[in-house]
Amino acid sequence: MIEAADLSLIDWSRAQFALTAIYHWLFVPLTLGLSFIVAIMETQYVRSGNEEWKRMTRFWMTLFGINFAIGVATGIILEFEFGTNWSSYSWFVGDIFGAPLAIEGILAFFLESTFIAVMFFGWNKVGKKFHLASTWLVAVGANLSALWILVANAWMQNPVGMVFNPETARNEMVNFWAVLFNPVAVDKFLHTIFSGFLLASVFVMGISAWFMMKKREEWLAKRSILISAVFGLLSSLMVAFTGDMSARTLAQVQPVKFAAMEALYDGSRNAGLVAVGILRETDEKIHTEKNVNDFVVKIKIPSLLSIMTGGSKDTYVPGLRDLIHYGDTTRKILAIPDMMQRGQFARGVLDDYKRARMLGITEQAEIIRKEYFGSRAFFDEYFRYFGYAFLSNPEDAIPNVPVTFYSFHVMVALGFFFILVCMLALYLLFMDRLARNRWFLWLMLLCIPLVYISSEAGWVTAEMGRQPWIIQDLMPVSIGVSRISAGSVMTTFVLFAILFTALLAAEVSIMIRQIKNGPKH
């Protein structure tokens, strides 16, 4: 029987994984976008034969390489933590979670690691076109790595394409294509890579603005801003579009997260979208335990939430209280207490089956296996809610509303802000007024930390918004943790915090030195 682990162990395990993921994501998005920006610049060099384009390519390629190396180091540690800190989860997901990660290592990482050597050390040793092809393949490989990792993460958000094997107590993949084309995976991949493209674009724009303020490398700076602003504008528009797609999908498969993102407690038709809001905790309870967070002030766009959810202002959007008490019959979403009852029934069936096998009552075990685990209806109607059996209160299914709300709105607000920045950069560049507007050069430079905040806020929304689940509806975080001492996790947390901070400081220091030195002549 699966039981919950010690609370301190859960908290420290979550903290360690969050620490590793946050640091890892400081490096990944720049890699995703900068690889393509470098490839575009080298394409210009091959087409024009102008050596200045080569200098520009090699300069940004060096910054890409510094970031890539540290990103790989943190990524490897992150994957190992699934086995060390989350072994119960790793067992329960069977071959599903491991398959995309294996493909990422065999196919995508092999592709980029093979050609990255040519990309960095092949100048003047291979032909221009072969070197260019290597650069593009590194860019494709980096983004293919992101694809398979995001497919694995999306399965945790919306588990599909699998069956549960009661004999091994593992979920097993039966439809690879359902996992790959999971609606959450499609939305998450597109939204994530375009956000990475935007981050890299803002990074290039900011560094180029610094060169212009110092009146250095103006030829390089202006062309870098041109490429990155166009790339960034297109990417920012796609971020907004894919974000809208993702919200529609979340309303279907993760309605509690969707309601928490808007701090929506009472559902309605013609529901408005909160553009800006400040929350305060009240004494009112959602059900019996958690307090309601009401708005001190808010600016709402009428009807937009209903339109985003179902394409019409008449679409009903359930709130957190509705999901606890009533669910949503229009989308066949059960009330959380009903899910808990069905999950408890599924857990009881599994316990009876395991008990019969352990006691050697093979006839009873075979009857249970055929009647329940041999039936698709049992999985669709009961086992899909298996994780709810471990919740003690319906409100346990509700994430931290203020954290989810604020992280989501910070991400959205900054996303629209970057659209304006890219548009204004292109306007000033084409009007030949960019160098004279020093305030805007400073703004582009200050956008670098802002775009990292936006990127991290997106992942906080995605991961904190689905709490308490490590696998949506199937396994709470408290069940997936390894049975090890909290002290050992605490120790490694401190060591990783020191190590990752040192790596980040080293990377920033090396990058600043490289930027100050500028491109080689």
Question: Model's pTM, two decimal places?
Answer: 0.90
- Spell out the domain ranges in the chain: 7-254+400-464+466-517, 263-331, 338-395
Interval 473-502: pLDDT, tens: 999 988 888 888 888 888 888 998 898 888
Average pLDDT, the chain: 87
| Segment 382-386 long-range contacts (CB within 8 Å, at least 24 positions apart) | 382/342, 382/343, 382/345, 382/346, 382/349, 383/164, 383/346, 384/473, 384/474, 385/334, 385/339, 385/340, 385/342, 385/343, 385/346, 385/473, 386/164, 386/343, 386/346, 386/347, 386/350, 386/473, 386/474, 386/475
pLDDT higher than threshold 80 for residue 296 = yes
pLDDT higher than threshold 90 for residue 41 = yes
Higher pLDDT, 286 or 450: 450
Interval 335-352: pLDDT, tens: 889 999 999 998 998 888
pLDDT higher than threshold 60 for residue 302 = yes
Residue 168 structure tokens:
């091994």
Interval 45-97: pLDDT, tens: 999 988 899 999 999 999 988 888 777 777 777 777 877 888 888 888 877 87
Give the pLDDT score at 34: 92
Kindly report the number of other CB atoms within 10 A of residue 121's CB atom.
10
Give the pLDDT score at 6: 59
Give the pLDDT score at 111: 75
Give the pLDDT score at 7: 66
Interval 220-234: pLDDT, tens: 989 999 999 999 999
